[in-house]
Every structure is written in structure tokens, then in C-alpha cells.
Amino acid sequence: MVTQEKRKKSKLIMVRVAPDDHEALRQLAQDASMTIPAYMLACALGRKVRSQAATHIIEELRRLGCQQRDLARSASDAMSVQYGTVLVEIIGAMRRLGG
């Protein structure tokens, strides 16, 4: 979640980077829907930065988890255990991604 800071920003930090590093930073910031300075500040201060790809993956895992849960509920006992095992793996993947 991005919040507007109400503190007055009065200090300037200038950083020189190589063209390939600039391109990498630009892409990472774009993936997170942030400007390069906002991305660099968030990273430097240890704030969580989630790419749009990670957000999409988490939503897809959530959707698949719901389907898996429904299959587990309607399956025979033997299949229910297998569906449940897969569901636990989906939940674990979501947690590792921060969702």
C-alpha cells in the first residue's frame, strides 16, 4: 500500500548510476508501480515493495486455492487428502510471496 507522506521533503540525495543500472532500477520501479526515487527510498528503508507480477501471482494462487478447496470438499476421502496436500502447498507459496 502506498501512502502520501505529509512530511515536507527538503533534502536532496543525488546518486550517479551506470546506464544499465538505471534501466534495471527503472524496470523494478515500474514493476512496483513506483517512481525510481520512491522505489529506491522504499528499498533503502527496508519497506516492502511488491511487484505487480507478484500481486498477480498471489491473486492467481488465491483463485486456484479456492478451486482446490472446493474439489477437496466434494472428493472422496482418498482424493480429499491429495487435494488437501496441494492446497497446503498453494497456501505456502502465497505466504512466501507475501500474500
pLDDT number for residue 39: 94
Q: b or e along 80-93 (b: 16 or more beta carbons within 10 Å of the residue's beta carbon)?
A: eeebbeebeebbee
C-beta of residue 29 within 8 angstroms of C-beta of residue 35: yes
Q: What pLDDT, on the 0 to 100 scale, is given for residue 34?
A: 92
**What is the C-alpha to C-alpha distance for residues 17 and 24, in angstroms, rounded to an integer?**
10
> CB of 7 within 8 A of CB of 41?
no
> Does residue 27 or residue 4 have the better pLDDT?
27
Q: What share of the chain is helix, strand, coil (3-state, %, to 5)?
A: 65, 0, 35
**pLDDT score, position 5:** 62
d(CA 83, CA 89): 10
pLDDT band at residue 22 using 50, 70 and 90 as cut-offs: very high
**pTM higher than 0.85 for the full model?**
no
